[in-house]
Structure 1
């Protein structure tokens, strides 16, 4: 099959003679229909030293085979989407940038008829990250997630800050926070204010305004009468960590969650980094760095994706705006360079396979 794999250290290429991946216990073999690109993809390419490691995390496709030990209700011919562990130096067959992928069944979903392959391909990394950050770390209540909106309207909503609200993870974070009865405060570019508000943000703030935006957030929170105790930083760089720390209310009990290993500079704020790859419950490696399996995260992931399936079936989750790239797998490396050069904004770059 055609696939994008590591060649020399820090680089990747499209090959045409990659063997199909072997079907392991608990996995599905899927014929790929669409893939979506994430910053983690080009970062993995830079870090990978071993040859023949397959890249890519977000996909949608059609089930070709169901592996032994699959307890989920998937059948041959099902339309599925989710998250696979591309760039895993310890398991080089796992990855989405190929004509066939192997996907761990517990953290995939059936695609409803109302959703296209291209839309579904945008969900995997973002959905996993939302679950780990907002629910597993910041402790938004899962029990309110599946309630009808009218059932949560009567509650006085608490604010939660979403920094990088127009990213693929951010747009999902806004929606899930709203569904759980929270009031999402969105920090993003003014170009994307309308998007954030349409998805459920109660207020929007320009990250480029710096201290002025922080003061606006603090004023907004005071008027709400509820302290801002939770912030999720989908950008996770020093300036975004400082912004979140400054915006959080004074006093103990504040929590900051990031997607990269960075801490909020405030000493009285609890900082936690989440890494989506722990959801697989398997040993893994990013470049030369090895990580042990985390079964707590894996168990949470199984429960989380079951809840997500219900919300997607009900049509209550909107996917990010899709930007269709040209050339299928042949165009992916160019697309990753666009992503690296910050040329993709307010949408998710998707390639049809």
Structure 2
């Protein structure tokens, strides 16, 4: 098969790789499209070795079913999405013509969502699910939080942010968010109640005023360049709970100990230990169980339009992988970048 493979010079090119050997509990997908995330170029630059297959988020058609997959759970030919941790393995990765995945860690793409749109779902959507329903302890749909509390989604026009806003509204929150002014109207379409420019020197003051100083939940979808500190400062006087996408700064770097702050990592939903530099993160069965539940919930929510997929920009086919990674790293392209594979 063709796959996007890391080179000696830390670029990525298409090369020939063996089709993954299917395990009994897995299904094999013939990839239709893939979605890019910042973790892809970061792995190439910081973690990957020459020969590793890059890429996490994929959508494909089922072409083979493992011997231990329960009968009737998976149908050959159906289109499903999933994700893996790409860029750390020379035999498996998401940006390839064939991808093997645990059968219960994949989700059916409903007929009203294209494979390209579905490529925007896996890591951004599941990261938001993880932040809200595991770390913040919010009741899962159809249940809702009581009393319409305020949640701050910092950097709401990121892929994660746009899904987090939609989920938060579905869960009964009032949503405050930040973004460049050109994106305010779109974020209000997704459900944001108030939006402010994150570059505004008075952004914290404006957030407090607009929410009646009642922000008690938060999700920082950028988690760098001072965003964590600003997010904390926007919370109500009693404090609250803030979730980050990047490692939590030390206590000395944070202004408010009453805002309990921790990090979420989508890879933990795969249910295996994760090697992160010199650190080994143990498997989290609760996260994997959440993913399994949400494979079915997600299909239902997208099918009935309760959650909308992101706008996507198809860069080209798999041969355009380096161009797409460069576009993503530049930060100048606001739509979700997608590649067609077949």
Name the TM-score, length of structure 2 as normaliser.
0.92
- Match for residue 309 of structure 2 among 295, 308, 319: 319
Once the two structures are superposed, what CA deviation does each residue of 1:305-343 show, in whole Å capped at 9, x if it has no partner? 3322221222211111111102x1111111111111112
**Alpha-carbon separation, structure 2, partners of 1:286 and 1:21:** 24
Separation of aligned partners in 2, 1:118 and 1:269: 38
**Residue of structure 2 aligned with 1:351, choices 322, 339, 342:** 339
Deviation, 1:250, is 1.4
Equivalent position of 2:187 in the other structure: 196
1:310 is aligned to 2:308:
no
Equivalent residue for 2:78?
Answer: 78
Q: C-alpha distance in 2, partners of 1:265/1:56?
A: 36
Q: Does 1:117 align with 2:118?
A: no
In 2: Cα distance, 1:290 partner to 1:23 partner: 26
Once the two structures are superposed, what CA deviation does each residue of 1:211-236 show, in whole Å capped at 9, x if it has no partner? x11111111121xxx72111101101
1:49/1:288 contact within 8 Å kept: no
Q: 1:288 to 1:66 in 2, by over 3 A?
A: farther
What is the rounded CA distance, in whole Å, between the counterparts of 1:121 and 1:188 in structure 2? 23
Return the match for 2:268 from 275, 278, 296: 278
Question: 1:288: Cα distance to partner?
Answer: 5.7
Distance 1:322 1:55 in 2: 20
How much has 1:140 moved relative to structure 2? Answer: 1.7
In the alignment, which residue of structure 2 is the partner of 1:50? 49
Distance of 2:48 and 2:160 partners within structure 1: 28
1:229 is matched with: 216
Task: State the match for 2:126 in structure 1.
Answer: 128
Please give the per-residue CA displacement for 1:160-213, whole angstroms capped at 9, x wherever unaligned.
110111111111111110011111111111111011100111111110103x11
Preserved contact between residue 48 and residue 288 of structure 1 (Cα < 8 Å)? no
- Secondary structure, in 3 states, of the residue corresponding to 2:112? coil
Query: Aligned with 1:285: secondary structure?
Result: strand
How far apart, CA to CA, are the structure 2 residues paired with 1:73 and 1:313? 18
Please give the alpha-carbon distance, in whole angstroms, between the structure 1 residues aligned to 2:338 and 2:59.
10
| Equivalent-residue separation in structure 1 for 2:13 and 2:127 (angstroms) | 28
Maintained 8 Å contact 1:4/1:55: yes
Query: Which of these residues, 164, 170, 173, is aligned with residue 164 of structure 2?
Result: 173
Shift of 1:287: 5.3
Quick check: 1:334 aligned with 2:323? yes
**Where does residue 203 of structure 2 map in the other structure?**
213
Q: How does 1:54-69 map to 2 (within 5 A)?
A: 54-69=53-68
Aligned to 2:287: 297
**Any stretches of 5+ residues in structure 1 without a counterpart?**
none
Contact 1:56 1:95 in 2 (8 A): yes
- Unpaired segments ≥5 residues, structure 2: none
Q: Distance in 2 between matches of 1:289 and 1:93?
A: 23
Q: 1:99 maps to which residue?
A: 97
CA distance in 2, matches of 1:130, 1:268: 23
Kindly tell me the number of residue pairs found equivalent between the two proteins: 336
Q: Output the CA distance in 1 between the equivalents of 2:177 and 2:93.
A: 32
The Cα shift of 1:102 comes to: 1.4
Q: Kindly indicate whether the alpha-carbon contact (under 8 Å) linking 1:217 and 1:247 is maintained by their aligned counterparts in 2.
A: yes
Q: Which residue of structure 2 aligns with residue 247 of structure 1?
A: 234
- Deviation of residue 146 (structure 1)? 2.6
Distance 2:195 2:149 in 1: 16
